[in-house]
Amino acid sequence: MWTKINIKEIETKNELIGYGSQGKVYKLSPDRCIKIYLKEKHAKMEAKVLRSAASSRFFPKIYETGPNYNVMEYIEGNTLNNYLEKDGKLSNEIIKEIVMMLKEMERLNFTRVDARLRHIFITNENKIKVIDHVNSFKISSNYPKHLFRGLKQLGHLQLFLEVANKFESELCMRWRKVNS
């Protein structure tokens, strides 16, 4: 385990692949990346979530943690928003994967059972991986508000709910109750 990382060295030697309000993500190798956080508490919060989700195929593996960083699995694929903008359609297979991911979040006792389209990746094998879990045990959500908002903006929410209702009607009914 690293006790302290050289941020400048990582920034100059590695490709920046993402950034947000909590920090920056750099690709370290074909299968690993490092997320460097602005606040140490965010590194700890996300590490806790990823460790609790270690048995799930929907979440990146975590390899190493430090005071202000986490080394985790690099996810190869398209974000859901890029996928929809490029391909223009949401297949039944992808819809089923997304619903299974949401059910898995519930099973893992996440209080935030939601994800933004840009945090959901579709791998080359058409499987779902979801990233950015700092607040998964902190923020509460009764239904996937950000996911639904993103799907609605791109014109895919109605199809998503129709297909999801065919194999998860109970879950869809619960979403309708809290969303009305």
Q: Give, for 63, the enclosing helix (H) or strand (E).
A: strand 62-65
User: In this predicted structure, what is the pLDDT of residue 2?
Assistant: 43
User: In this predicted structure, what is the pLDDT of residue 58?
Assistant: 97
Rounded mean pLDDT for each run of 10 residues along the chain, 180 residues in total: 70 92 94 95 95 96 94 95 87 95 94 94 93 88 92 94 92 77
User: In this predicted structure, what is the pLDDT of residue 149?
Assistant: 95
Q: What are residue 160's phi and psi, to 5 degrees?
A: -55, -50
User: In this predicted structure, what is the pLDDT of residue 88?
Assistant: 75
Burial group, residue 139, by CB count within 10 angstroms (0-12, 13-18, 19+): exposed
User: In this predicted structure, what is the pLDDT of residue 66?
Assistant: 92
Q: Which residues on adjacent β-strands are paired with residue 73?
A: 32
* pTM greater than the 0.75 cutoff: yes
- Cα torsion 28, 20, 153, 149 to 10°: value is 110
- Report the C-alpha gap between 42 and 35 in whole angstroms: 10
Angle made by CA atoms 149, 173, 122, in degrees to the nearest 5: 45
